[in-house]
């Protein structure tokens, strides 16, 4: 749906065009009114206007200058000029500012409606062109590095993806690896020599390192990304397993080149050989854990996961604490089920014959308690009340701790706050809907618009529309229309008011428009309905 702005220094002209023409039939959802050029500029700065109808002669600023200024921030807006003067010079300037039409007052209503509908068709044709396959392919090529980076990040975060979609994206993004190909993962951390740079300079240095890597690993297929934590991750592929085994020497060469040309040290961790896409998330987490384990021991080092982490079963769940998305992020976003599932994986609840050591389990308990204390902080509840007596018991009696007990405690806390959050949202939405209904019912005879209602409840129109539709299953326009028709039937059958007066009480500025809408709804005119 589209938004229309009508501008004229004569209020009667603006109101007449806005209220007497059924713009919704032409695909217009919002109609904004401005009684000066300055007011029009203000509205255009706050709303996405698609079509503007403007008078050409106004006191503060003429319509042509208004079009020029608005097009600076909204170049795709379609403009229609109204004028009481048939002057060639104005028409020429209108063409220069790409106005859709130059119409003389008094304007022919049907001609104006047709011009607006032509403008909307023109907008739709432009967007179809923008979204054409050729344009998409061009944009895909231009943004290929960004898309490749994001795709690998998604895989490292273990985001669910079917094999069909995975294979398709590998081809579309022109990546050098396919399903079941051999690969090794290389994770790089930039060391202290790079710590003095600002964010923009660091981005340039990261780009430089990836360029050096592309040159050093020429015999291999290379796919890389930069994670949110700042690690540079490379998937290295080669069809020959023997050649893939020689990756270590190339990695050392990369380390030396970065030191020589960028004057800074990097630490490198190489994972074991795997078949794509197996082990991506696990391999990344193990490499990060290995790098973090060596913090402070060396300025620059080269390690492999096999050398550092034998990966006993008891550590598997604990390692998942580092696996994105992190628990605080899930709780903050309200992803309750995913948060509970993550805790279950961390605690190995469903792993028969496997359990965490008491030391690791105790660490998990402390981690969960601090996460809950921050995520569910409240002025009305103390931390002790939040974590409850069960937590106090497990802290005092370590021997009583078990994976199932910690899990049951954590799940209970999350489910409690989940129900509180849902109730709060439901009550908030219900209050908004009640406020909207009360305002409409009390101001039905006034000129009601989505913007006026939004101002009344103190919300942005777009957000208000979304909340109302979520809570009621219908739009505000649907409710307004239904209420007007119900009131119309009541007034026609229970009062002796004239049809024109009924129209006015329902907020229709023009009786013919009311009669048209009523007939469309009930199949007869208001007078015919009354005479039944």
Q: Where are the beta strands (DSSP E) in 8-116?
A: 28-34, 51-55, 78-83, 101-104
- Do 149 and 156 meet the contact criterion of CB atoms below 8 Å apart? no
Task: List Cα–Cα distances, 246 to 219, 233, 252, 302, 398, in angstroms.
Answer: 11, 18, 11, 14, 48
Average pLDDT of span 73-82: 89
Cβ neighbour number for residue 95 with a 10 Å cutoff: 10
Q: What is the mean pLDDT of the chain?
A: 84
Which residue reads 């794509």 in tokens?
A: 276
Contact 441, 505 (CB under 8 A): no
- What stretch of H or E contains 113? helix 109-130
pLDDT value at 46 more than 50: yes
Radius of gyration of the chain (CA): 33
Distance from CA of residue 260 to its chain's centroid? Answer: 42
- Judging by DSSP bridges, how do beta strands 78-83 and 302-304 pair with one another? unpaired
Residue 126 CA to residue 78 CA, distance in Å, equals: 12
A 10 A CB-CB count for 407 gives 20
Could you report the per-residue pLDDT of 403-443, keeping only the tens digit for each?
A: 888 899 999 999 988 888 777 777 778 888 888 998 898 88
Pairwise pLDDT comparison (156 vs 86), residue with the higher score: 156
Average pLDDT over residues 362-389: 80
- pLDDT value, residue 308: 45
Mean pLDDT for the stretch of residues 495-507: 91
Nearest to 154 by CA among 131, 182, 175: 175
**According to the 3-state scheme, what is the secondary structure of 148-210?**
HHHHHHHHHCCCCCCHHHHHHHHHHCCCCCCCCCEEEEEEEEECHHHCCCCHHHHHHHHHHHH
Instruction: List beta partners, residue 189.
Output: 267
The answer to whether residue 474 scores a pLDDT higher than 50 is yes
Judged against a pLDDT cut of 50, whether residue 360 lies above it is answered with: yes
Give whichever of 21-25, 287-291, 327-331, 354-358 has the largest mean pLDDT: 21-25
Return the pLDDT at 300. Answer: 62
State the CATH class of domain 176-304: alpha beta
Q: What whole-number distance in Å separates Cα of residue 91 and Cα of residue 93? A: 5
- The yes/no answer on whether domain 2-127 falls in CATH 3.40.50.920 is no
pLDDT at 48 over 80: yes
What is the C-alpha separation between 172 and 140, in angstroms, rounded? 9
Residues 137 and 174: their CA atoms lie apart, in Å, by 12
- pLDDT(304) > 60: yes
Where would I find the H helices in 217-357?
Answer: 241-244, 247-262, 280-293, 305-308, 316-319, 327-333, 336-346
Separation between Cα atoms, residue 64 and residue 383, nearest integer Å:
63
Q: How confident is the model at residue 398 (pLDDT cuts 50, 70, 90)?
A: low
The verdict on pTM exceeding 0.75 is no
Superfamily (CATH) of domain 444-531 = Homeodomain-like (1.10.10.60)
Give the phi and the psi of residue 357 in degrees, each rounded to 5.
-65, 160
pLDDT tens-place string over residues 95-140? 766 788 888 888 889 999 999 999 999 988 888 776 665 666 666 6
């Amino acid at each position: 749906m589209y938004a229309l702005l009508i501008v004229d220094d004569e209020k009667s002209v603006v109101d007449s065009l806005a209220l007497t023409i059924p713009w919704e039939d032409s695909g217009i959802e919002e109609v904004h009114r401005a009684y000066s050029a300055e007011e029009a500029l203000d509205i255009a700065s706050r709303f996405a206007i698609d079509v503007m109808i403007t008078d050409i002669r106004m006191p503060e600023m003429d319509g042509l200058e208004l079009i020029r200024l608005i097009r600076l921030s909204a170049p795709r807006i379609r403009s229609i000029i109204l004028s009481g003067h048939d002057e060639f010079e104005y028409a020429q300037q209108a063409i220069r500012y790409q106005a859709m039409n130059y119409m003389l007052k008094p304007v022919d209503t049907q001609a104006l409606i047709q011009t607006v509908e032509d403008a909307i068709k023109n907008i739709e044709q432009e967007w179809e062109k923008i979204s054409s396959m050729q344009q998409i392919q061009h944009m895909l090529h231009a943004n290929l590095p960004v898309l490749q980076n994001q795709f690998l990040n998604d895989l490292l975060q273990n985001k669910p993806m079917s094999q069909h979609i995975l294979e398709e994206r590998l081809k579309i993004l022109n990546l050098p690896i396919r399903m079941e190909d051999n690969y090794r993962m290389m994770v790089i951390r930039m060391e202290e020599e790079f710590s003095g740079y600002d964010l923009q300079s660091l981005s340039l240095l990261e780009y430089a390192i990836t360029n050096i890597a592309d040159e050093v690993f020429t015999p291999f297929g290379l796919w890389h990304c930069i994670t949110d934590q700042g690690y540079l991750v490379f998937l290295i592929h080669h069809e020959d397993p023997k050649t893939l085994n020689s990756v270590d020497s190339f990695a050392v060469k990369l380390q030396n080149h970065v030191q020589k040309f960028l004057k800074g040290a990097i630490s490198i961790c190489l994972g074991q050989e795997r078949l794509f896409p197996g082990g991506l998330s696990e391999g990344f987490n193990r490499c990060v854990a290995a790098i973090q384990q060596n913090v402070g021991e060396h300025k620059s080092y080269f390690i492999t996961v096999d050398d550092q982490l034998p990966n006993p079963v008891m550590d598997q769940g604990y390692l998942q604490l580092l696996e994105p998305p992190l628990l605080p992020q899930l709780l903050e976003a309200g992803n309750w089920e995913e948060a509970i599932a993550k805790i279950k994986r961390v605690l190995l609840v469903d792993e028969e014959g496997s359990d965490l050591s008491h030391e690791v389990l105790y660490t998990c308990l402390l981690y969960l308690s601090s996460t809950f204390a921050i995520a569910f902080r409240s002025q009305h509840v103390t931390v002790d009340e939040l974590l409850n007596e069960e937590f106090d018991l497990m802290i005092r009696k370590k021997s009583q701790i078990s994976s199932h007990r910690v899990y049951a405690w954590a799940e209970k806390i999350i489910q409690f706050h989940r129900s509180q959050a849902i109730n709060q949202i439901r009550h908030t939405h219900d209050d908004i809907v009640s406020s909207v209904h009360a305002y409409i019912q009390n101001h039905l005879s006034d000129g009601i618009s989505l913007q006026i209602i939004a101002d009344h409840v103190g919300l942005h129109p777009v957000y208000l529309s979304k909340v109302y539709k979520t809570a009621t299953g219908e739009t505000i326009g649907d409710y307004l229309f239904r209420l007007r028709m119900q009131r119309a039937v009541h007034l026609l059958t229970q009062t002796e008011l004239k049809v024109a007066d009924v129209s006015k009480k329902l907020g229709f500025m023009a009786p013919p428009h009311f009669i048209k809408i009523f007939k469309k709804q009930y199949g007869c005119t208001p007078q015919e309905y009354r005479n039944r």
